[in-house]
Amino acid sequence: MTDIDPRAQLTIGYAYDVNDHDKDHLVVHIPLAEHVDQDWIRWYHRLARVKGITAHAEDRPEGSVVKVDVPAYSKPDNIRALLSSARTLMKEADAATEKPPPMAEAEYAVQEWWSQQGR
Protein backbone atom coordinates (compact mmCIF):
# COMPACT_ATOMS: atom_id res chain seq x y z
CA MET A 1 0.00 0.00 0.00
CA THR A 2 1.34 3.39 -1.00
CA ASP A 3 1.81 5.81 1.88
CA ILE A 4 3.88 8.75 3.02
CA ASP A 5 7.42 8.35 4.34
CA PRO A 6 7.33 10.15 7.71
CA ARG A 7 11.13 9.76 8.09
CA ALA A 8 11.85 11.67 4.87
CA GLN A 9 12.10 15.43 4.55
CA LEU A 10 8.92 17.37 3.80
CA THR A 11 9.58 20.20 1.32
CA ILE A 12 7.55 23.40 1.14
CA GLY A 13 7.76 25.90 -1.71
CA TYR A 14 6.06 29.25 -2.16
CA ALA A 15 4.01 30.42 -5.14
CA TYR A 16 3.00 34.05 -5.34
CA ASP A 17 0.51 35.66 -7.71
CA VAL A 18 1.50 39.29 -8.27
CA ASN A 19 -1.96 40.18 -9.57
CA ASP A 20 -4.08 38.40 -6.97
CA HIS A 21 -2.68 37.61 -3.52
CA ASP A 22 -5.68 35.39 -2.80
CA LYS A 23 -4.06 32.92 -5.22
CA ASP A 24 -0.80 32.75 -3.24
CA HIS A 25 -0.17 29.20 -2.08
CA LEU A 26 2.33 26.76 -0.67
CA VAL A 27 3.55 23.88 -2.80
CA VAL A 28 3.97 20.97 -0.41
CA HIS A 29 6.05 17.98 -1.54
CA ILE A 30 5.06 14.94 0.51
CA PRO A 31 7.59 12.11 0.15
CA LEU A 32 6.23 8.62 -0.45
CA ALA A 33 7.63 5.47 1.15
CA GLU A 34 8.08 3.76 -2.22
CA HIS A 35 8.34 4.57 -5.91
CA VAL A 36 5.07 4.68 -7.84
CA ASP A 37 4.57 3.88 -11.51
CA GLN A 38 2.98 6.00 -14.24
CA ASP A 39 -0.35 4.17 -13.99
CA TRP A 40 -0.59 5.02 -10.29
CA ILE A 41 0.39 8.64 -11.02
CA ARG A 42 -2.35 8.96 -13.67
CA TRP A 43 -4.96 7.54 -11.30
CA TYR A 44 -3.86 9.83 -8.47
CA HIS A 45 -4.14 12.87 -10.76
CA ARG A 46 -7.61 11.83 -12.00
CA LEU A 47 -8.90 11.25 -8.50
CA ALA A 48 -7.50 14.55 -7.24
CA ARG A 49 -9.11 16.40 -10.14
CA VAL A 50 -12.50 14.76 -9.50
CA LYS A 51 -12.29 15.63 -5.78
CA GLY A 52 -11.26 19.21 -6.52
CA ILE A 53 -7.82 18.90 -4.93
CA THR A 54 -4.90 20.57 -6.66
CA ALA A 55 -2.46 17.71 -6.23
CA HIS A 56 -0.45 15.33 -8.35
CA ALA A 57 2.24 12.71 -7.95
CA GLU A 58 5.71 12.52 -9.46
CA ASP A 59 8.27 9.75 -9.56
CA ARG A 60 11.79 11.11 -9.28
CA PRO A 61 15.10 9.27 -9.12
CA GLU A 62 15.42 10.14 -5.43
CA GLY A 63 11.87 8.97 -4.68
CA SER A 64 8.23 9.61 -5.43
CA VAL A 65 6.33 12.59 -4.04
CA VAL A 66 2.82 13.95 -3.96
CA LYS A 67 2.67 17.69 -4.60
CA VAL A 68 -0.24 19.57 -3.02
CA ASP A 69 -1.11 23.22 -3.53
CA VAL A 70 -2.16 24.67 -0.17
CA PRO A 71 -3.91 28.06 -0.26
CA ALA A 72 -1.89 30.51 1.80
CA TYR A 73 -4.90 32.12 3.44
CA SER A 74 -6.59 28.94 4.68
CA LYS A 75 -7.36 28.14 8.28
CA PRO A 76 -5.10 25.50 9.89
CA ASP A 77 -8.00 23.03 10.21
CA ASN A 78 -8.73 23.37 6.49
CA ILE A 79 -5.06 22.85 5.66
CA ARG A 80 -4.91 19.68 7.76
CA ALA A 81 -8.11 18.41 6.10
CA LEU A 82 -6.70 19.11 2.63
CA LEU A 83 -3.47 17.26 3.38
CA SER A 84 -5.40 14.34 4.89
CA SER A 85 -7.55 14.19 1.77
CA ALA A 86 -4.44 14.12 -0.41
CA ARG A 87 -3.18 11.20 1.67
CA THR A 88 -6.50 9.35 1.41
CA LEU A 89 -6.28 9.62 -2.38
CA MET A 90 -3.15 7.42 -2.18
CA LYS A 91 -5.27 4.49 -0.99
CA GLU A 92 -7.85 5.22 -3.67
CA ALA A 93 -5.15 5.26 -6.37
CA ASP A 94 -3.87 1.92 -5.04
CA ALA A 95 -7.38 0.46 -5.30
CA ALA A 96 -7.86 1.86 -8.81
CA THR A 97 -4.67 0.21 -10.07
CA GLU A 98 -5.65 -3.16 -8.58
CA LYS A 99 -8.93 -3.51 -10.47
CA PRO A 100 -9.56 -3.10 -14.18
CA PRO A 101 -10.43 0.47 -15.07
CA PRO A 102 -14.06 1.08 -16.08
CA MET A 103 -13.07 1.61 -19.74
CA ALA A 104 -11.46 -1.85 -19.88
CA GLU A 105 -14.58 -3.41 -18.37
CA ALA A 106 -16.79 -1.49 -20.81
CA GLU A 107 -14.62 -2.53 -23.75
CA TYR A 108 -14.80 -6.17 -22.67
CA ALA A 109 -18.61 -5.96 -22.50
CA VAL A 110 -18.77 -4.44 -25.99
CA GLN A 111 -16.44 -7.11 -27.42
CA GLU A 112 -18.42 -9.86 -25.71
CA TRP A 113 -21.69 -8.46 -27.08
CA TRP A 114 -20.18 -8.20 -30.59
CA SER A 115 -18.94 -11.79 -30.52
CA GLN A 116 -22.48 -12.97 -29.77
CA GLN A 117 -24.10 -11.07 -32.63
CA GLY A 118 -24.24 -13.33 -35.68
CA ARG A 119 -24.86 -16.55 -33.80
Tell me the residue length of the chain.
119
Identity of the residue numbered 82: L
Residue 111 lies in a domain: yes
Please tell me the predicted confidence (pLDDT) of residue 5: 97
Residue 3 lies in a domain: no
Residue 76 lies in a domain: yes
Residue 110 lies in a domain: yes
Domain count within the chain? 1
Residue 63 lies in a domain: yes
In angstroms, the CA 33 to CA 85 distance is 18
Alpha helical stretches, state H, the chain? 38-51, 76-98, 102-115
CATH number of the domain residue 15 falls in: 3.30.1460
In angstroms, the CA 32 to CA 18 distance is 32
In this structure, are residues 44 and 26 in contact, taking their beta carbons and an 8 Å threshold? no
Please tell me the predicted confidence (pLDDT) of residue 55: 97
Please tell me the predicted confidence (pLDDT) of residue 118: 74
Please tell me the predicted confidence (pLDDT) of residue 109: 79
Please tell me the predicted confidence (pLDDT) of residue 119: 65
Low-confidence stretches of the chain (pLDDT < 50) are none
Give CA separation, 2 vs 20, 31, 37, 72, in Å: 36, 11, 11, 27
Please tell me the predicted confidence (pLDDT) of residue 37: 96
- Domain enclosing residue 96, as ranges: 11-115
Close Cβ partners of 38 (under 8 Å, ≥ 6 residues apart):
59
